[in-house]
Structure 1
């Protein structure tokens, strides 16, 4: 399949967990459409270059059939792992990626080892180097994702670990899903989880991508962002008030509708301006790319998904939220490209 837009320099994919045509009568659910239906939705939308999800061994043939039927490849795939427990699973998933044609495997590694301790920096470095060697032998690049509940939810750990890997002459492939930062802006509880409340309140760490010297700017300047994702969130947004965890607490709120929900489709008030940090994070990644010839950014995915901390039980059309994200991404690139041609796009000097 050829890219939809030859002037768009990235591959734009849709996370399969978001390929769900939900509605008032059929709220966002963990019961998903068939693989065939998911591929059909993504293909027929006309805005995506590929389908982003890892098959299970039990349904890999369904993926192969859908890839051929809809001429829609799987370029990237994601999963989460606990070191000391999921080592064999990670190895097999790298093989699945190679078998299905995916060139990048997005890896989310939990903060804690199976033995109970918090992973040390050295354990994470060794983990990356090991999986890098294993993946590259199969033509599958490992990409470590910024994500809640994972080691890099403590943001201050990212840069030192990335630099330690880069110092060995090995590229550190990083996936910035900035929703996992932006939703914490102005939320003391969440800042404490990321062990950065003091640094943020003192101005030492800046989470807002509109601020010079932001965390996102720091990561982009390391020339390591090979993949970025768009899930819109609102700073200090409401939790998911339509889903409670087993302990009675509401699920975390890490998804804010991209378009205004109709009455009854969402549990809270909606304000368009709250989308701007999420949108600016994508614009920044694109501005970095267009001003740096050696930028490694290759993949962008939309990530409006169905899990409890995200969109579960919402009554808007989940897939159409992803389509809206994709349309924004493509339009943002056209605008940045035009501004760059006019000499109006710059990048802050390090």
Structure 2
């Protein structure tokens, strides 16, 4: 019960928060309406992230270690959640979002005293120390993680499923080295499960649908990068820095690939479009549930690969270049995706005609 009770508390608090906040969100106009990019039906409350925040923070007050670093985390999380709520309501400019995200990164670095000071032995037989450049790298990492999970939130359940996978791996990695921070990602998994019940309307179709919103995806992205930085600190060293790539592989690769393609087209890397991985699955003829299942399986496979490599202490350079190879293949496939889709459709048509 010592391990189960915190998870039950986070789940129940999130579930009840959704029930209570839903009517308030509708009255306040904090809803997502269909447009050229969003093809859902009706106005959907954007309160999933707020509910996850309530579930995690409320349960943390009872079960998590009360430390100064945790206080800084709660402050940072509260700021980024508030930014997300404002963005959901008023559609803030990229500049405003990035400035606030940089401020939150500064809270992590100078308030909590943690930052990325080394990339480990990813290039071979010497440690790639960052020194003072670690501060700059950490700021970019925070902005990158926040926006990676924000960008991947495109179909029902996807941001929740991918973040739950990352949090589950983080909980395992931190727990195996005795870090008290293992409980935070575990609480997120429980709260996200409650959110997914409403978001996917499963197992009860009578549940009113809610979306995570930018508040949720930004909050989750910040927490994941926070835990990744904590896990690679010399005093804890729950995992080596290169393992972080595998823990957030799909959101990271999707963001990097799509921003690269946008820049090549001469458009803003932050300009929304319908070229994400889940959109490609849909255009290939898969429905949204199938796309969710396939992408989640890919994320689980890569995360498990990273876990196994970390547990068995595979050479960091091997891990790094394996990930780079996967990303190159991923980007290569996406650059030729329409040819591949055409061939898949031709193959499907031939099978249909034969049948």
Q: Is TM (by shorter chain) over 0.5?
A: no
Q: Which has the larger radius of gyration?
A: 2
Q: TM-score, normalised by structure 2?
A: 0.28
Q: Which has the higher helix share?
A: 2
